[in-house]
Amino acid sequence: MIVTPCADTIDQLVFDASPPRSPGLHLSTVIKSICHEIDPRRFPLTAPGDLPWTRFEVGFTFERVLEHAFASHLPNIFRPGEITLDGIAMSPDGIDPDGWILEEYKSTWMTSHDVPEGAKCWHWKVQMMAYSYALGTTLARLRVLFINGNGDKNPTYKVWELAFTESELHSNWQMILQHAKVKGWL
């Protein structure tokens, strides 16, 4: 047998996990900046070429699997496309029109311990609250694939429904706007 390595890398592949991003300020930029200021070791600012593309692709694949499953079993859930509020663009994963519930999908190497209440997933809650605020809902459903399970290396899939107060959503959005203004992005 002759084995020849190929020069392909994951970042050369083309994936259609989500619609293309528009130019301008995106919610993810603001949240990454806030997280970096809170914990720069956990959330380092990285150049695009230094990003862990393989890990992102696991997440994109998980999103595609859920979208495919929903298309046949929960056809009402849809990806709303990019939305913009106060100059900040956002791309929610999905909306369940039955109850107008935000759908958010994550895959992570974190364990499931202390999720979704714990501080380690604070940035997910900030993101979901921003999406919820922009979409006019107080309800969100978080679907997470924990690759390391609860620390036992057995992948686990968990789903939670979160109900935010109007006050939480408003305060969260004000924090995001204030950070973007301080950075000179708005």
| Tens digit of each residue's pLDDT (9 = 90 or more) over 34-47 | 999 998 888 887 76
For the chain, how far is it from start to end, CA to CA, in angstroms? 60
Higher pLDDT, 75 or 21: 75
| pLDDT on residue 95 | 95
| Cis status of the peptide bond prior to 116, with omega within 30 of 0 | yes
Question: Which residue has tokens 């939480």?
Answer: 168
Mean predicted confidence (pLDDT) in 38-60: 74
Residue spans of alpha helices (H) in 104-182 = 122-135, 166-182
Instruction: Note the pLDDT tens digit of each residue in 86-127.
Output: 999 999 999 999 999 999 999 888 899 989 999 999 999 999
Highest averaged pLDDT of the listed ranges 8-22, 34-48, 170-184: 170-184
Burial track 103-113 (b if 16+ CB lie within 10 A, e otherwise): bbbbbbebbbe
User: Which pLDDT belongs to residue 121?
Assistant: 93
Residues with Cβ < 8 Å from 3, sequence gap 6 or more? none
What value does the mean pLDDT take over residues 139-148?
Answer: 91
Q: Which domains does the chain have, with CATH numbers?
A: 54-182 (3.90.320.10)
Instruction: Compute the distance between CA of residue 128 and CA of residue 106 in angstroms, rounded to an integer.
Output: 11
pLDDT band at 23 (very low <50, low <70, confident <90, very high): confident
More confident residue, 78 or 6: 78
Closest CA to 146 of 168, 180, 121, 119: 121
Sign of the CA dihedral with 23 first, then 25, 30, and 33 last:
positive
pLDDT recorded at residue 181: 98
How much is the pLDDT for 125? 97
Single pTM value for the model = 0.84
Residue 58, class by beta-carbon neighbours within 10 Å (0-12 exposed, 13-18 middle, 19+ buried)? middle
Contact 90, 26 (CB under 8 A): yes
Torsion from C-alpha of 56, 57, 60, 61, nearest 10 degrees: -150
Asked if the model's pLDDT at residue 69 lies above 50, the reply is yes
Confidence band (pLDDT; 50, 70, 90) for 171? very high
